[in-house]
Chains A and B, each alone.
Chain A
Amino acid sequence: MGLTILIADDTETDRLILRTIVNKLGHRVIIATDGAEAIDLYQQECPELVLLDVMMPNVDGLEAARQIKALAGEELVPIIFLTSLTDAESLARCLDVGGDDFLSKPYNATILRAKINAFNRMRVMHNTLQEQRDKIVEHNQYLLHEQTVAKEIFDKVAHSGCLNAPNLRAVQSPFAIFNGDIVVAARKPSGGMMVLLGDFAGHGLPAAIGAMPLAEIFYGMINKGFSMPEVLAEINNKLKKVLPVSSFCCAVMVDLDFTSKLVKLWIGGLPDCYLYRNCTGEFEALTSQHLPLGILGAQKFNAEYQLIEMANDDRLLLMSDGVIEAQDEAKQFFGVERLQQVFKQNNQIDSLFEEIRKSVFSFIGEPTDDLTMVEVMMVPPETFADEDEVFEVSAARGAQNWAVNFEFRPETLRNYNPIPLVLHCLMEIPGLGLHNSKLYTILSELYSNALEHGVLQMSSSLKHSSQGFTEYYAERESRLRRLAQGYIRFALNHVPTEQGGFVQIRVEDSGPGFDYQQLQNMKGDQLFHGRGISLLRSFCQQVTYLGKGNCVEVVFSWTND
C-alpha cells in the first residue's frame, strides 16, 4: 500500500536520490526545499511519514519537526531525520525534539525500505489503538448516561416513601453510580413507620436491579397494610426467585409504633445494629439472627422478630457492613472498636450520627464498598403526624354499587392477616384511595376488637400499663395458637351517592358479646383501651352495636372534591 511521504532537503542531489528510492518502493513523494516549506506542505497534504534533513535554511529540521509534531496532535506522523552527523550528541537531539529515528548519509535503499515499513506498522497500530480508545470512551459515556437515567428511575422507586421524616437520618456513599445499598422508609396506614436497610452482595447495576422489586414490594405492601413479617417474607421470596444463587441481600427491618412505643426488629446477615437508650446513655448491640434475604425458600424463611420497647428520644443505629469494613490506605478496617470509641466520646446524642459519619469518612482513603447508615428515633405520635399524602385518583370508573361478605375461620385467624384483603376490596371504589389510611384504621380496630375480645375472649384490663401491653400480646399469641373454633364475619356494603358514597362495614364475631349499653354511658378517653372505640367514632358517621354486642356496624361516608 503506497503512502504519501514528505521529503525535505535543501540539497538537490540528495532530494533526487531519495525521491528515486522512495518512488521505487511504490510511495507518492512530495518535496520541500527547506523547513518552512515542509511545515506548509505538511498542512496541505497531510503526509503519513516525513523525512527531514537536519540542517536547512529558514527553519531548520529540528524546529520543523517540533512544529509538525504539534500540528499532528494525537495522530502519529513518524519523522525520520536525514543526517550526515554521526556524533551521539547530535543524533540524540534529533530524537529529543520529537523525531522517531534517523538515517545517515549515504542512503541505503534496503534500510530505508525497512524503516518506512516498520514505521508504517507502528502508525497503523497507533490508529487502531486510537479508534478503539475512542470507541471505549464513547461506549463509556453512553453507559454512564444510561446509568444516570436508570438511577433517576431507581431513585423515584426507592425514595418514594418518607425518608425525609423528621425522626430519620440516612447517609450513603455511592461506590458506583448505583449503590449496592438501599434504604426505604414508609408510613404505615395505621400510623407508625417501617424502615429497611438492605445491602446487596456486590454493587452497581446487578445490585440495583435487585433493589427495584424490594422497594416495590416494601412500599406496595406497607401501603396496603401488611405486617412486617408478611413484607419480609414476600421480599425474601421475590429475591430468591430473581437473584442468582450466589447473590443475596443482607438487611435490617424495623417497624416502629409511636403510640405503644413497641419496635419490631429483624436483622439478617448485617453486623450489629445499636439501640441507644436515652435514660441510661448506654448503647445496646442488636445482633443478626437470620440469614440474609433471598437465600432460603419460602418454607424455611424465618421472619421472627425481636420486640423492643423504646422511650421517646431513644434511637436505633442501623448500618451496612461498609461502615465497620471501611478501609484506610493501609487496608486496616474501621472496625467495631473504633465505632464504639466514637460512642464513648460522644456527649451530645444529637450529633452522634454526624460524628460517626465524619469519623468513618476521614478514616477511609478511597471508598471501596458501599456504606450506609441510618438513625431512627422514637418520637411522640403527634411528631410523626400523618401528612396528607396525595393519592392519584386513577380509577375514574371502578366498582360502584356492591356488597360482599367474608367469613374468616380459625385456620385463617391463626396465621393470616385479612385486613389487606378487605382493604384491597374497598380500594376498588373510585375516590376511596384518598381515605386509605382512615379505612385501614377502622378495619383493623374492628378486626382486633372482634378477634381479641370476641373470638379470643381477652379482657383489655391487661393493657393498662405498657408492661401489660407486652404480656397482653404474648397471651394473645398463645390463645391464637390453641384456637379451634370461632369466626369473624365482615359484611361490606357500598352505595355511591351524587357527591361520593358510603360504605357500611358490619363485623360479627363468634364471641359472647358484651354490655354495650354500659360502654355508651362512659367517655371513651377515660380508659387506656377505650382509644379504639373513640377512634372509630371520630372517623365514622355511625357506630352501632347490635345483638348481644358481638356485632358492630359502622358507616363511613365521603364526598369527592
Chain B
Amino acid sequence: MTISTIKSEDGKALTIKIQGRFDFGEHQAFRDAYERIPRRPAEYVIDLNETTYLDSSALGMLLLLRDHAGGDEADIKIVNCKPDVKKILLISNFEQLFAIQ
C-alpha cells in the first residue's frame, strides 16, 4: 500500500498520504482514497512527506480531486513536500490552486 488515508477525529478533514512515486500507477488508488468515503469532508490534506517523485499525471490527479472537492470552493492543503516535489508543484504554478505548505 502506498496510499493511505486518515480521517480527523471530528471527521472534517481527510488526510491522504502518498508514499514513494506519485504517478499514473497510483491513479485508481488515489481516486479510491477520496471517492470511497461516504461524506465529503470540509478539508483535504495531501501529505507528501514520503513522496519521492511526482509527474504530470499526478498533477492531473490533484486537479481531479480539486474538481471532486468543489472546484474553486475546494479546500485542499498540500503539506510536507520534499524540495524536488515542491519544485514541480511550483513550476506548474499549482500554488494558485492549492495551499502548498
Contacts and interface: CB of A to CB of B under 8 A. Distances in A.
A290 B94 CA distance: 9
Interface in A281-302: 288-292, 295, 300
A155 B63 CA distance: 30
A245 interface: yes
B35 interface: no
Interface stretch (B4-12, B39-47, B54-62, B75-83): B54-62
B91 A246 contact: no
B93 A269 contact: yes
A336 to B, nearest CB: 10
Contact of B60 (A201, A290, A321): A201
Interface string B81-92: 000000000011
Contacts of A300: 72
A336 B70 CA distance: 36
A93 B67 CA distance: 66
B92 A269 contact: yes
B64 interface: yes
Contacts of B60: 201-202, 245-248
A493 to B, nearest CB: 48
Nearest to A203: B56
B101 interface: no
Contact of B56 (A201, A268, A271, A290): A201
Contacts of B93: 268-269, 288-292
User: Which of A202, A269, A295 has the largest number of chain B CB atoms within 10 A?
Assistant: A295
B92 A245 contact: no
Interface SS majority for chain A: loop
Interface in A279-336: 288-292, 295, 300, 321
A294 to B, nearest CB: 10
A250 B63 CA distance: 14
Q: Which of A245, A250, A289, A300 has the most CB of B within 10 A?
A: A245
Contacts of A245: 60, 63-64, 67
B91 A271 contact: yes
A270 interface: yes
Chain B's interface size range is 10 to 19
Interface in A504-554: none
Contact of B59 (A201, A268, A271, A288): A201
A263 B82 CA distance: 35
B97 A246 contact: no
A321 B72 CA distance: 27
Nearest to B24: A202
B92 A246 contact: no
Contacts of A292: 92-93
A182 to B, nearest CB: 15
Contacts of B28: none
B68 to A, nearest CB: 9
Interface in A241-255: 245-248, 250
A246 B57 contact: yes
Nearest to A246: B60
A290 B64 CA distance: 19
Given A291-B97, A295-B97, A269 B63 contact: no
B41 to A, nearest CB: 19
A248 B56 CA distance: 9
B57 to A, nearest CB: 7
Contacts of B96: 291
Nearest to A295: B63
A300 B93 CA distance: 14
A271 B90 CA distance: 9
A388 B63 CA distance: 45
Nearest to B68: A245
25 contacts: A201-B59, A202-B56, A245-B60, A245-B63, A245-B67, A246-B57, A246-B60, A246-B61, A246-B63, A248-B59, A248-B60, A248-B63, A250-B56, A270-B91, A271-B91, A288-B91, A289-B93, A291-B93, A291-B96, A291-B97, A292-B92, A292-B93, A295-B97, A300-B72, A321-B56
8 A-B pairs with least C-beta separation:
A246-B60, A201-B56, A269-B92, A245-B67, A246-B64, A291-B93, A201-B60, A245-B64
Interface of B: 56-57, 59-61, 63-64, 67, 72, 91-94, 96-97
Given A202-B60, A245-B64, A321-B56, 10 more contacts: A201-B60, A202-B56, A250-B56, A268-B93, A270-B91, A288-B93, A290-B93, A291-B94, A291-B96, A291-B97
